[in-house]
Chain A
Amino acid sequence: MEALITFALNFIYSSATLALIVLGLAMVFGLLGVMNMAHGEFVMLGAYSAYVVQSLGLNFIWAVPISILVCVIVGWFMEWSIIRHLYKRPFDTLLATWGVAILIRKGVEVIFSRDYKSVNQVMPGTVDLFGITYPSYRLVLVAIILCLFTVLFLWYQKSKTGLRIKAMVQNPELASAVGIDTARLSTATFIIGVSFAGLAGVLLAPLVRVEPYIGLDYLLSSFFILIVGGLGTLEGLLIGSAVIGGSDALISTIFDKTAGYLSVLLISILFLWLRPNGIFSRH
């Protein structure tokens, strides 16, 4: 019974954190059609922001605005110099953003060197829950993520900007014709998307290793989740995270980690082949 509860909590934690990581890419890929291969690097930048804040001796909470600042600057520059010119060329954005990813990685490596940094646990300790002990920080993290998604969902449904974004996505020319500044909206969407990635990095920093190359794993997981969950809906995002996170956790528990990863790959390949638009998508 204990094992089951632990597994359930791990599953929720895994799905929630994956959803948070993918959120930024879902925005950028789903709304703008940009396959941002540097997505993982923004998560990495967020994690490093947490590290920097810690080295400066500041309270962990400062990491959030600092990571947002870093991601906004890098994201804005990236959008202005590269992405903007490639909106209609998905392959080229894929390649160009891969190049940017290398640049960001090398930049971080030059500044911080390649060894593993660690960010101290901001909320150490465990809680006793349903008869098992579970790390408190993880539970708090899940709560934060659930709140965030609820807020986002409501905002997208109800707000004017959300409506404008929907219009832009469905019919860019018409949106432009009725006065929606599509260029500015695209830039804003991209920047917000990468900032969410940074936020994910900050929140996860106390739990993961921090080094310049962690971005790649996040990128790959993100693509797999988007493939399964489809683009365009928050529900799809959550379901994709659950499927990917869940299969990994389940198979890893029954067999081993390698089998878990293999199962994720196989599921993704199957979806790519048979249902490339995901479980349900609007495209």
Chain B
Amino acid sequence: MAFSLVINIVIFAILIAIPFLTNSYSAYQLGLYLLYGMVGQGIALCWGKGGFLPLGQALFFGIGAYISGKLLQGDIGWGIVLLVLLLSIIVPATIAALVGLLVFDRQIGSGPYFSLITLALSLLGYQLANSQVWLTGGFNGLTGISGLPGIDSYGNLYFFIVGALLLSTVFLVYLIRTPFGQMLEAIRENEERVQFLGIHTSWVKAVAFAISGAVAGLAGAFFAPHQGIVTPQVVGFILSAELVIWTAVGGRFGFIGPVIGAVAIGFLASGLRDSFAYWEVVVALVFVLVVLRMPGGLSGMSLSFFKRFFPNIFSREQAPRSKIIPAKQSILKPSLIFENVSVNIGPVSVLNELSFSIKSSGIHCLIGPNGAGKTSALNALTGKLSFNKGEIFWSDNSLKGVRPFRTPKIGIGRKLQVPSIFPNLSIRQNIDIALWVNRLRLNEFFSMSPYSWDLKLLDELQSSFLFLREDQELAGNLSVGQRQMLDFTMTVLAEPDLILLDEPCAGLSKGETEEMIEAISKLALSSGATFIIVEHDMQVVELLSEHVFVMHQGKMLAEGSLEEIRANKEVRAIYAGGSK
């Protein structure tokens, strides 16, 4: 933490010193690229941190510029300036939030559709800016823009720009460290997993997108007095694409990278373009290289370089866990009812009038041959598979049409078949996110206090799985077995009443399997929760469960204790169980 702070201080000190080291005109030119860098920071927030790429960010920048250009006319006072700053933040942010909410809600994952929509919106903005001459001055643009009162646009405005950049940098760096920021990064890593932890991920992404719009709009507000003219190019696709390129080359995973990219590439390009015809070819080559080989861009490269010599230089002090959260009381009488649930995908009956119920807590195992529909049953239960026919009730809540992120709120926790963790985040970060789910109040999203939370259950899990204590380790460096354990830990930290585990012992060694079984039993006893465990390994089933369900071809074939199941002729006919 200290080292990054030092780097940032040095950079801003240099920026402030530029007019004195060179001349005011060079500082003036640099100012434009600092503004572009600001917009790039917003792009980095969405893309590097959130995993979704906005291809039309100039739209928000341009809206800010047009608002500023339109209002900063004639004699103005600081009151108008304040109004301009507010509007140029609020208007783009609102538009971005709307777009984000509408688009993200419809799709999981950030696919190319979001990017293409932002691109199309930028094109739309460009067309409107060109054609609505009454509002924007059309192709000729808005001119006659006053500078800030008493501030020379070619002189001291530069310091205001540096100030704005400092503001956005500090804000974004803080934001990413808050629980909100951590969740955003987790969404990038594995959006589905975050949903199953109970976060309405499209809202998180929409807020991040809105913030990026606000930052872009603020930069735009300074663009107008700086340049003295606002033309449609300021909202268009070409600028949007350049901003992405500069962010990529400078480094999208941090907030200084985009500024470096804009300055190094953009600033130099504008100067060299006339004298060196091949300059843009060089930039394009560097860009392609970055995409192929250096996803972290120039700043990413420098950081790894530093890390090689000073490996711990970027490690941060973690807040000690000091505040113990009271454990949740589990519900007294669980009630899960499947009533004739049927799902067809094409000609295949994935679930075929599946009916069963669970009225007691403890561990229930769900077994059956491949393709029996076990995972599909869990999918239907948690909103991942929609079903039209039949009903599912959990504690008197109907689960028809439920969205996955709502299930933890009604006490359902799910661990997917493939161990799903957040590989580029540390173990501590993974655990924190699981811990916060369902417990954060709105204001706590943006405060640092949740970092100090502790839970008795967490201590117990950390003694079951000792590696969890090395919590600075990146989750991606863990073995498959450890990932399963971490995934399990994350699932149960929310203290769900109904815990769905899909093959928790898959890929585990014999020793690890024992550890896992022990942890599950311990938890079952202490929490009083209801477990449904899908398993293939009969030894595990034997050790864990009191009650077993057997599915076949989308239907429930039989249920009972393991001995009863073993004795059942039909079960023997369709299913050859095995053990490790």
| A touches B in complex, CB < 8 A | yes
* Chain A, interface SS category: helix
A262 within 8 A of B: yes
28 contacts between A and B (CB under 8 A): A85-B292, A90-B112, A91-B53, A92-B295, A94-B112, A94-B115, A98-B287, A99-B284, A99-B285, A99-B291, A103-B281, A103-B285, A106-B281, A110-B278, A110-B281, A216-B237, A261-B127, A262-B131, A266-B124, A268-B120, A269-B120, A269-B124, A272-B113, A272-B116, A273-B103, A273-B113, A276-B111, A276-B113
- Bound CA–CA A85/B117 (angstroms): 26
- Which residue of chain A has its CB nearest to the CB of B286? A99
Contact at A95–B291, with CB atoms within 8 Å?
yes
Partner of A103, one of B113, B284, B292: B284
A229 CB to closest chain B CB, in angstroms? 14
B379 within 8 A of A: no
- The 0/1 profile, CB within 8 Å of A marked 1, for residues 326-339 of chain B is 00000000000000
- The 0/1 profile, CB within 8 Å of A marked 1, for residues 116-132 of chain B is 11001101100110110
Contact at A107–B127, with CB atoms within 8 Å?
no
- Bound CA–CA A223/B237 (angstroms): 14
Q: What is the total number of residues of chain A having a CB less than 8 Å from a CB of chain B?
A: 34
Contact at B112–A35, with CB atoms within 8 Å?
yes
- The 0/1 profile, CB within 8 Å of A marked 1, for residues 197-220 of chain B is 000000000000000000000000
Contact at A95–B117, with CB atoms within 8 Å?
no
Contact at B124–A92, with CB atoms within 8 Å?
no
Given A35-B112, A227-B116, A268-B120, do A103 and B288 touch, yes or no (CB 8 Å)? Answer: yes
Contact at A96–B281, with CB atoms within 8 Å?
no
* Complex contacts, B120 vs chain A, CB 8 Å: 224, 265, 268-269, 272
- Which residue of chain A has its CB nearest to the CB of B113? A276
- Bound CA–CA A47/B381 (angstroms): 57
* Chain B, interface SS category: helix
B580 within 8 A of A: no
B169 CB to closest chain A CB, in angstroms? 24
Chain A, range 64-91, C-beta contacts under 8 Å to B = 82, 85-86, 90-91
* Complex contacts, B288 vs chain A, CB 8 Å: 82, 96, 99-100, 103
Given A220-B123, A266-B124, do A82 and B117 touch, yes or no (CB 8 Å)? Answer: no
Contact at A96–B292, with CB atoms within 8 Å?
yes
Contact at B130–A107, with CB atoms within 8 Å?
no
Instruction: Give B contacts to A, CB under 8 Å.
Output: 53, 102-103, 106-107, 111-113, 115-117, 120-121, 123-124, 127-128, 130-131, 237, 241, 244-245, 248, 277-278, 280-281, 283-285, 287-288, 291-292, 295
Contact at B248–A95, with CB atoms within 8 Å?
yes
Contact at B117–A273, with CB atoms within 8 Å?
yes
* Complex contacts, A110 vs chain B, CB 8 Å: 277-278, 281
* Complex contacts, B121 vs chain A, CB 8 Å: 269
- Which residue of chain A has its CB nearest to the CB of B117? A272
Given A99-B284, A103-B281, A273-B103, do A265 and B291 touch, yes or no (CB 8 Å)? Answer: no
Given A102-B280, A258-B131, A261-B127, do A273 and B116 touch, yes or no (CB 8 Å)? Answer: no
Chain A, range 87-132, C-beta contacts under 8 Å to B = 90-92, 94-96, 98-100, 102-103, 106-107, 110
B269 CB to closest chain A CB, in angstroms? 11
B206 CB to closest chain A CB, in angstroms? 14
Contact at B127–A262, with CB atoms within 8 Å?
yes
* Complex contacts, A82 vs chain B, CB 8 Å: 288, 292
Partner of B124, one of A98, A102, A265, A273: A265
* Complex contacts, B284 vs chain A, CB 8 Å: 99-100, 102-103, 106
Contact at A273–B102, with CB atoms within 8 Å?
yes
A75 CB to closest chain B CB, in angstroms? 16
